[in-house]
Amino acid sequence: MITGKVLGVCVSSTRGTSKKNIEKGYLLKDYGLVGDAHAGSERQISLLMAEQIEEMAKKQHIDIRPGDFAENITVQGIDLTNVKTGTHLQLGESEIEVIEIGKHGAENHTFSFHGMALLVDKGIFCRVIKSGRVKVGDEVRIINSPENHERS
């Protein structure tokens, strides 16, 4: 079993801005993180790995906090670099499904943090398939992936 933990639960009231770490929230099935501007859209939840954020912070010599790259959930200790669409993750009490890795190149990207748009390449976009609470410190784990499902 592959696990990590939640470092940030982040929302913003408008699109195209960084998000504030509110430390806990509610993921509503087929909607997203309640209170976030992206809830109800196709990409209901966005995730970034803290390790990727920390790498960028070191390269740029800047402080970066959860939500600065406009991600909803910042996770640590779980390698999501090779997840595929269709992978299911447990996030606190909720379950989410990966629907997209990064953003399509032809899309207009209006947000960047200090000129960097990490979600474009590294973002993991998901839909909520089971409602539940999530908070900083909660476990994140891969509960099934397309590879595991195909073997069943």
What residues does each domain of the chain span? Answer: 3-151
* SS3 state at 51: helix
Closest CA to 147 of 82, 95, 101, 90: 82
Domain 3-151 class, CATH top level: mainly beta
The residue type of 145 is: S
DSSP H or E stretch at residue 31? none
pTM: 0.85
Task: Going residue by residue through the chain, which has 152 residues, state the pLDDT in tens, using 9 for 90 and above.
Answer: 579 999 999 999 988 788 999 999 999 999 999 999 999 999 999 999 999 888 877 887 888 889 988 899 999 999 998 899 999 999 999 999 999 988 765 455 454 554 556 666 788 999 999 999 999 999 999 998 776 544 33
